[in-house]
Every structure is written in C-alpha cells, then in structure tokens.
Chain A
Amino acid sequence: MKRQLGLIQGLVAMILLVFVLITGKAKFQADILSLLPQNIQTVVQDAESHFFDGNKRHVFISFSGTDAKLSHDQFFSLSQKNPWFNVKAIELDLEKSVQFYLPYQGVLLADNFLKALSSPESYLLFASQKLTEIVNPFVSASIAQDPSLSTAEFVEQAFAKNDGLALEDGRLITTSSLKGQQQFIIIFTIDNEALNVNKAITVAQEIKQVIHQVEKQYPESVVKYSGVLFHTAENSSQAKFEMSFFGGLSLLAMLVMVYFVFRSKTALFAVILTIMNAVIYGFIALALLFDSVHIISLVFGVTLIGISIDYCFHVLTELHNKKPSLTMVNKSIFLGFISTALGYILLTLAPMSFLSQVATFIIAGLVGAMVCVFTLVPTISSSKSELNNSTLDKKLANLIKLIKKFQGRRVGLLIVVSGLVFVSYLLIPIKFNDSIADLNGSSATLISNETFHQKTLSGQDVKRLFILGSTIEQVLQTEEAIRARILALSTELDVTPQVKGISDWLPSKQRQNDNNKRLKLAQSNDVFSSWEEATGLEVTINTSAPLTYQAIKNSVIAPYVLPFIYVGLNSGLGVDKENHNDEFVSLLQLSNITTAQLVSIIEGFGGQVIPFDKAENISQIMNDSRESLLYWFMLALIMFSLVIWIRFGLKAACNHSLALVLSVSIALMLSYMIQGPLNLFNVLAMMLILALAIDYLIFYQYRGTNKFNVLAISLSALSSLFVFGVLIFSKTPAVYSFGLTVMLGIVSIFILAPLSVVNKEEP
C-alpha cells in the first residue's frame, strides 16, 4: 500500500514536472534589482518604474586614454554587426524646439534673463553677449519673432541642463573631463530578452569580446563597461556555478557518507530518491506559484538537500534497528517538519520577495521528502539487518560516551558556556551593517566601472527627489519652491548646485503669470530701449496663453520632458481633465548637494517631497527587517518553549530555550568575529538554526541518546554542515553570511542539544 502510494505520488510529481517544463511555466531571472523591496506607496512605486525601468536596458561603454577616440570608433564599427547593438541616432532638432516655444514668449523666462531685466545696461550686456556668440542656434531661430531673446535663452538653458553629455563629431563626449582627458561614451539599449539569464551571459560575453579586441588594438585606451546586463550576467553565471558546484559537492560528500555508514546500495538509492522527490516537489511549487524564479532563490534552496536527507537518515537508521519503530520516527519527522516549515515561513516576513521563493521551495521540498520517507524508503530499505560497521560502531560508542559524560556535568558546562557567551557580548558588542551590496555578487571591476560612469554622467553628490501632487501645477510649484531654496543656498557654496527637472521645460502657471508681469514692468521701465536703439529691433511683450503639460506631451520636446513626470490618472477622465484623485510625481535631480544640505532644502514639505535613494532606502528597509526579525525570533522561541513546557515540563522548556539561545548567540558572535559587521542574512540564518535546532531537540527528547538516534542526528548535522558549509565559499555576501552563521549554529546546537535533554521519554 505504502509503495503504491509512493509510486503514485512519484508519477504525479513527474507528470507535473513535465507539464511545467513543456508549458514553459518555469522561468528564471537573475536581475539583482528584482530582489529589492518594493516601495509601500503604490504611486511612488509606479513612478519609480516609470523613471528608472528603462535604464535597466541601457549599456554604457566609456573610452578614455590617449587613443580614446580611435577605440570608440573601433568599438562602434565592430559592434554594428551584432544584433544587440542598437544605438539610437541622437536627433537634436533645436529649430523645432525653439519654434514650439515661440508662441509662449512673454511667459517663459530663464534665470539669466530675469537677472538681466534689472536695468537697461545689464539687459544690453546680456543681449549683446548672446549676439557675440559665434553661432547660437537658439538666437538665430528666434530673434526674428522674439527680439527680446527670452525664448532663445529659455530653450538654451533647458537644453544646457539636459545631461552631462555633448555630441561632438557624431560621438557622445562627457562635458566633464577626468584629469584633462576627454571621455567618449557609447550608450545603447538592449532588448528585454537580453536580460534573461542565459541570454544575458551570452550578450555580456560578446560585448566583452569586442572590448577585448579594441583594447588589444589600442592598448593605451581604457575601456569601461557597466549596466544591469553585466550584473545579471555575472550574478547568474556565479549563481549557476555555485548551484552546480555547491550542490554537487555537498551531494557527493553526503553520498560518500551514506555509503560509509550504511554500506548498502539501497540506502544510497533511498537517499537519492528522497532528495530527488524533494527537489521535484520544490521546483513544481516554485514554477506554479511564481511568475519567474530568481536564480539566487535556488542558491539558497540548495539547503533543501541538507534538510530533506535528515528525514531519510532517521528512517534508515531506525530500519536498521532490531525492533524498528517507524511510528515514533514518523511522529518526530512530522513534528520536525512543522517546526522547520514554521521557521521558513518566518523568512517570508523579510521584505525581499525571493525569500518567499526560498521558503516555498524548502517547504514544498520537505513535503516531498516526507512523503518519500513515509512511503517509498521503508519499502526499498526494509533489510532489517543491523548496521555492520565496526569503525562506525566504535566512533558512535565514543560519541555517546562523550555525550553522557557531558550530560553528567551539564549544569557546570551550561553555566561556563553561558558565562563565556555573556562576557564575550559585553566585551565585543556586535555591530550591524545592512547594505544592498550584500545581495550583489558582481565583480569589483564592474562595481567600480558603475560608480565611475555614474559620476561622469550625473556629477558628484547626485540626489533625487520625488515631488508628489494631485495636480501638475502643484508639482511644478513645489519644484520651483525647492529651486528657490537651492538658489539661496548656492550663494554660500563653492560649487554651484545643478538642478534638473520638468520645471526646466515647463514653468508653473503661477510662475508664467509672474514672468509676464516682470516683462511688462521691464518694458514700462524702458529696460529694452538701449537694445532696441543698438539693433533697430522692437521688443513687444504679449500676454500669451500659458504653456501647459497637455501642449508639451505630444510636442517635439516631449522626449526631454516626459521622463521627468509620472502621471497616475485615477479618474479615467484623461490628463486633460485632472481631478482630485489623480496623482502626479515628478523627478527632480540635484547634483553637488550634500545629504545635510538636502535635509534643510526639503524641510517643511512633508510627504510632498520624498528623497529617493534606492540604495539607502533598501539598506534602511533591510535594517528595519533585521530588527523586526529579531522580535519574531523571540516570539518563535517563546512559542517553542511553551510547547515544550506543555509537552515535557518547565525544566525541559528552560533547558531547550537556553540551548537555543546559546547556540544562536555563539553562532552570531563567531560570525561577527570572522565576518565583521553582521547583516540581515546572519539574522535570517538564526531562524533556520532555530528550525534545525528544534528538530535535534525534539529527536533527543523523544528518542534519547540511543545509538540510532545519535547516529541519525550526527548524520543530519554532518549533512547540514556539508550543505551550509559550502555556502561560505559563495561570492555573494548574503549567501556567505547565511551559510557561515547556519554552519556555526549547527555545530553549537549539535554540542548543546544533548545537554538540554531532561526527563527523556524512552521509546
């Protein structure tokens, strides 16, 4: 009956596996940004996607050094035959842009123009300056219709702020140079498909090959690359390697261990079958429940092998008992599963979505392992012959002797260990440092290239603000109020702060109205008279209809403006009919502003102005999650203690709780000593230690220090050590931290668990 059930579940699992593979439901991704927590405010989240999602597909290649220009051209020429190379020709239609703004002369004034209106002399100087410029396309295109040059200056200022790049001889160059050297930049956009795990690796490789060719031909040039593509490629290659290497290595170590202990092929087969069943269950659950599976979830998921094999060990060792009692073992396994599953469910409390995937994979996998060990394993390994391994028997006897010796001195030992842990925490206070970088296993070269490109393109100390409002007018007025504060601040600074946003292209209606009044006042004060005399031109000031967002959104300048505004229409009336349910978010980019200055600039705006720093936000969320996880750990510990108290009494509850707290404390302290400041992933490891430790405690409590129980627990601990131990070789800091703390925790609980057992129930 059991065998039939086991075979049926296996068959169903195989059918489901084939189904998810054939229907393509199993999709993988390695985009590091998708791991990040989402903002709670929907409108801010949508605005964030609007402003930054397009950037994910950009690839940046920069060229510097003596042969910068030649290497730029060579890269361009070599890349053109590749399908991923998609450079949009930059068409700067200044003429059309000026023509678009000309009907609004009289309401649009740039800062410099406003300053020039102070007197006829300053205006004459300003206008003469414009005309002495050898070529000024803005003046040339507008002077006939707008002799005041206000339109020319407004459009010129808007374009000047457009970005840190200029076009020179068809090449993009950075307007800021590094150590007197000109930087050439190529920016191209890859397809969304190219960010898929396998495709990303291939495309990144091809790009690097072209760079290698260029560097070989021009050794004096320095070529740097950056973009999400490279992070995806590096992280997915790394994850693939780690999954296959770590998974393979720990599996091999465990199989060797199984063969060494049981000396039987059926035991090996049982172990392999349990792991396979577990992995298939986990994989099917992931494929069915999630749109796409993050590859880093699978790296963490390697731990399934270590936990699922434990169940098999308990059944296998019991089956080799003279009087096997599988009911007791199954009861222990089930209780262990519940506790482990609860531990993993706690992982989903963390803000990172991939942890839900890890929890799903492990819990479903453990169900698979449990079904397998309850049905198939007893039928294929029912030899009922005692273990015949004298070396193992000898070692096991020594271990039990040692455990019993420790148990005899448990009070003294627990006091000493507790004292040591307490003193160590007093002397070495643990520090925490959560950072987005923990999730990134990318190479130092790529991270440094990215920092370099960010500085080159956006300048130093770049800060971003989200301006929220229920109308565009409200958003624009807030932007202008912030600009005014920055302008006031800039008089005290050595480096002029730069501001970039939608209000460069579209002033608020209030501002436009003020501008018109300023112009009319200037005209009545004869500010333009000297200029008119010098040139014979006649400046007339009209009161034109104000420029609106509706006019801009389908115009020639829309590509410059729309990236800075997110329109969330909730009324369904369309953007022409704004109502109070609509939400508008603009992006204001500031540079040369320190964090302290930013705090004073946005003071008093409340929720209307949100500083946007993805890395900082994530670090903060990770920090908050870590703190909340500590509370959840305490709660889980209390709940576990209550269960033990009810089931085994107060003394057992106190002893078990102490063992758990000590194990976790030792694991954290040793991790801190080895790793340095701890992070969220060390704390997440605590939850897993708790889940695994409960297993050991329950098994010791139920089955005591009998030979088969000690053997099963020792094998479990060893297998977990293999699985979690290899994670410390991971290049992803999060995986390393997690593996290190779990490994140290397992060693601690393996030693402390038998010391905490009291009033043991003999089977």
Chain B
Amino acid sequence: MNISFAKMASHLFVLFYCVFSLFSINSAIADNTVIPTTSADKVSLSVEQVENRLQINQGGFVSQQGDFIQRKYFKVLKKPFLSSGNFVISNDEFIWKTRKPVESAITFNNGELYFKDNSGSKKAPAQASTIAQLLQHLIAGNFTALTNSFAFYDDNNTANCVTLKPKTSSMTAFIEQIILCGDKQVDEFVLFDKNMNRTEISISYNKEL
C-alpha cells in the first residue's frame, strides 16, 4: 500500500482531533466549568460590599436547616465523588450530617467539636474544627467573622458570587480559595484546595427553625 505523506498526515490529524475532542468532552463532563479566579480578575471587596452584592445581612440571620449535595472533583477521578446530607445551623450550634454514601456527623456546639463516623469513631479529623467553623460562617453568611481569615474579591464571572482568598497560615494550609454564591442566602460554595482539586457544595433550605 502506497499512502502519500500528506494523506497520512491528514489521517493522523483527524485521528488526533477525534481523540482530543473525546478527551475534552470527557473532561468537560468530569470537570465542571467552574474555574478559580486568577489574581488579574480580582477586585477587593469590603464586608459591606459583599453583603450588598449577595444581599445577605448577617444581622438578620435566623436559624436554618436544610440539605446539601457535595461534589468532589479530583483530577484523578473520572467523575465527581458525590455525597449528600443535611445540616442545622444557629448562632451557637452547627450540625453537618453526611447521609450518603457513608454516615458521619460533625457537631460544633458552643465552640466544642463532636465527631462521629460510620465506624462509631469519635476521633475528629485533624482539620475538622477549623472546617466546621468555616462552614458555619460560610452558610450563615457571617462575613465579619470570615474577614479574620479571608480577603474578599469580586468574582467577575457571576454577579451573585464573591471569591474568598485565605490570609492566615491555618487556612492557606489547605484552602486555596473559595467561591461563594447566593442571593439573600448562601446557595452554593466551591472550595479549591492547594492542589486545585475542588469541592462544590450546593445548599437547599427547608424552613426556618
């Protein structure tokens, strides 16, 4: 068989294009379109500006309970790892219960942390206390508390979102940035870790307590 070089090249190009397209489609399926903001996108925001932007006033915060869905996107995972559960939040208590695929619960009550996993272990993960308090502040929209650890930036992509960049070593140890979105209440936030893996948490509220 005598195939010309140009023909072979065109076949290779088509093959490469197909493979690339498939890969891109797969990646797009596995990887959501949320991308972290770069420093060039950033416009610094004050607590008041964040509250105005999301129309969240922490002063008017009331106890809430609801459900959450968590999607964990790791670069090595072909599809996001899903988990779900429910939560209860008030000024002095925060309960985060994961129901699926395995049960676990973090309770933060008056500054004291309780943890329980599916095996009944009460030994909390090393970072549980920091994360529990962070979640409590994020869901409550308590930007005044968050300002101790994070700087706020305008997310140019979406009107109802802000970007939080950690400014303390305790946070930068495992969080690169957070994108928080909401309208009158926090609906979703995306946590990017140091390896740029991301965890998306979508929240739905049941009713006011």
Query: A residues engaging B (CB < 8 A)?
Result: 89-95, 112, 115, 125-126, 128-129, 131-137, 140-141, 143-144, 147, 156, 159-160, 166-170, 173, 175, 177, 180-182, 535-537
A128/B170 contact (C-beta < 8 A), A140-B194, A166-B129, A180-B112 known: no
Report Cα–Cα, A177/B195, bound state, in Å: 33
**Structural contact, B170 and A143, CB atoms closer than 8 A:** no
Q: Which residue of B lies closest to A92 (CB)?
A: B173
Find B170's partner among A134, A144, A167 (CB 8 Å cutoff): A167
**Structural contact, B77 and A137, CB atoms closer than 8 A:** no
Report Cα–Cα, A87/B197, bound state, in Å: 33
Report Cα–Cα, A181/B92, bound state, in Å: 12
A170/B149 contact (C-beta < 8 A), A143-B76, A537-B77 known: yes
* B174 at the binding interface (Cβ < 8 Å): yes
23 A-B pairs within 8 Å (CB atoms) are namely A93-B173, A95-B194, A125-B102, A125-B119, A126-B119, A128-B102, A129-B118, A131-B81, A137-B127, A137-B173, A137-B194, A140-B74, A140-B195, A156-B125, A159-B126, A166-B129, A167-B169, A170-B168, A170-B170, A180-B109, A180-B112, A536-B77, A537-B77
Q: Which residue of A lies closest to B169 (CB)?
A: A91
Total A-B residue contacts, Cβ distance less than 8 Å = 120
Report Cα–Cα, A89/B170, bound state, in Å: 11
Top-10 shortest CB links A-B: A137-B174, A182-B111, A167-B170, A132-B83, A170-B168, A180-B110, A536-B78, A160-B126, A140-B193, A169-B148
Having A128-B101, A147-B76, one finds 15 other A-B pairs with CB under 8 Å, namely A131-B81, A132-B72, A136-B125, A137-B173, A137-B193, A140-B74, A140-B193, A144-B74, A160-B125, A160-B126, A166-B129, A167-B170, A180-B112, A536-B78, A536-B79
Contact with A along B114-136 (1 / 0, CB 8 A): 00011101010111011101010
**Structural contact, A535 and B81, CB atoms closer than 8 A:** yes
* Chain B proximity of A513: nearest CB distance (Å): 27
Q: Which residue of B lies closest to A116 (CB)?
A: B119
**Structural contact, A180 and B76, CB atoms closer than 8 A:** no
Report Cα–Cα, A134/B195, bound state, in Å: 14
A residues near B194, Cβ cutoff 8 Å: 95, 137, 140-141
* Chain A proximity of B154: nearest CB distance (Å): 23
**Structural contact, B191 and A135, CB atoms closer than 8 A:** yes
- What size tier do the contact residues of chain B reach? 35 or more
A residues near B83, Cβ cutoff 8 Å: 128, 131-132
A residues near B76, Cβ cutoff 8 Å: 143-144, 147, 537
Q: Which residue of A lies closest to B174 (CB)?
A: A137
**Structural contact, A132 and B74, CB atoms closer than 8 A:** no
A residues near B142, Cβ cutoff 8 Å: none
* B163 at the binding interface (Cβ < 8 Å): no
* Chain A proximity of B156: nearest CB distance (Å): 25
* B70 at the binding interface (Cβ < 8 Å): yes
Report Cα–Cα, A147/B197, bound state, in Å: 15
* B98 at the binding interface (Cβ < 8 Å): yes
B residues near A125, Cβ cutoff 8 Å: 102, 118-119
**Structural contact, B174 and A140, CB atoms closer than 8 A:** yes
B residues near A159, Cβ cutoff 8 Å: 126
Find B72's partner among A115, A131, A137 (CB 8 Å cutoff): A131
B residues near A170, Cβ cutoff 8 Å: 148-149, 168-170
* B151 at the binding interface (Cβ < 8 Å): no
* Chain A proximity of B186: nearest CB distance (Å): 14
B residues near A167, Cβ cutoff 8 Å: 130, 169-170
B residues near A129, Cβ cutoff 8 Å: 102, 104, 117-118
* B199 at the binding interface (Cβ < 8 Å): yes
Report Cα–Cα, A134/B129, bound state, in Å: 12
Report Cα–Cα, A144/B74, bound state, in Å: 9
A residues near B101, Cβ cutoff 8 Å: 128, 132
Report Cα–Cα, A134/B201, bound state, in Å: 9
Report Cα–Cα, A301/B35, bound state, in Å: 76
**Structural contact, A144 and B112, CB atoms closer than 8 A:** no
* Chain B proximity of A120: nearest CB distance (Å): 14
**Structural contact, A177 and B111, CB atoms closer than 8 A:** yes
**Structural contact, A535 and B169, CB atoms closer than 8 A:** no
Q: Which residue of A lies closest to B170 (CB)?
A: A167
Report Cα–Cα, A406/B169, bound state, in Å: 83
Of residues A137, A141, A143, A159, which shows the largest number of chain B Cβ atoms within 10 Å of its Cβ?
Answer: A137
Find B174's partner among A115, A135, A144 (CB 8 Å cutoff): A135
* B75 at the binding interface (Cβ < 8 Å): yes
**Structural contact, A134 and B130, CB atoms closer than 8 A:** no
* B175 at the binding interface (Cβ < 8 Å): yes
**Structural contact, A169 and B170, CB atoms closer than 8 A:** yes
**Structural contact, B169 and A160, CB atoms closer than 8 A:** no
Report Cα–Cα, A133/B199, bound state, in Å: 10
**Structural contact, B74 and A143, CB atoms closer than 8 A:** yes
B residues near A156, Cβ cutoff 8 Å: 125-126
Report Cα–Cα, A128/B76, bound state, in Å: 15
* Chain A proximity of B175: nearest CB distance (Å): 7
A residues near B102, Cβ cutoff 8 Å: 125, 128-129, 132
* Chain A proximity of B167: nearest CB distance (Å): 9
Find B195's partner among A91, A141, A168, A536 (CB 8 Å cutoff): A141
A residues near B170, Cβ cutoff 8 Å: 92, 167-170
Q: Which residue of A lies closest to B197 (CB)?
A: A140
Report Cα–Cα, A492/B118, bound state, in Å: 21
B residues near A90, Cβ cutoff 8 Å: 169
**Structural contact, B74 and A160, CB atoms closer than 8 A:** no
A residues near B175, Cβ cutoff 8 Å: 135
B residues near A536, Cβ cutoff 8 Å: 77-79
Report Cα–Cα, A132/B76, bound state, in Å: 16
A residues near B121, Cβ cutoff 8 Å: 112
B residues near A128, Cβ cutoff 8 Å: 83, 101-102
Q: Which residue of A lies closest to B110 (CB)?
A: A180
Report Cα–Cα, A92/B175, bound state, in Å: 13
Report Cα–Cα, A136/B125, bound state, in Å: 8
A residues near B169, Cβ cutoff 8 Å: 89-92, 167, 170
Find B199's partner among A92, A95, A135 (CB 8 Å cutoff): A135
Find A181's partner among B98, B111, B171 (CB 8 Å cutoff): B111
B residues near A92, Cβ cutoff 8 Å: 169-170, 173
Q: Which residue of A lies closest to B99 (CB)?
A: A132
Q: Which residue of A lies closest to B117 (CB)?
A: A129
- 8 A Cβ contacts from B131-177 to A: 131, 133, 135, 148-149, 168-171, 173-175
Report Cα–Cα, A129/B100, bound state, in Å: 10
Report Cα–Cα, A307/B102, bound state, in Å: 81
Q: Which residue of A lies closest to B68 (CB)?
A: A134
A residues near B197, Cβ cutoff 8 Å: 140
Report Cα–Cα, A141/B75, bound state, in Å: 11
B residues near A112, Cβ cutoff 8 Å: 119, 121
Contact with A along B61-96 (1 / 0, CB 8 A): 000000000101011111101010000000000000
Find B191's partner among A94, A134, A166 (CB 8 Å cutoff): A134
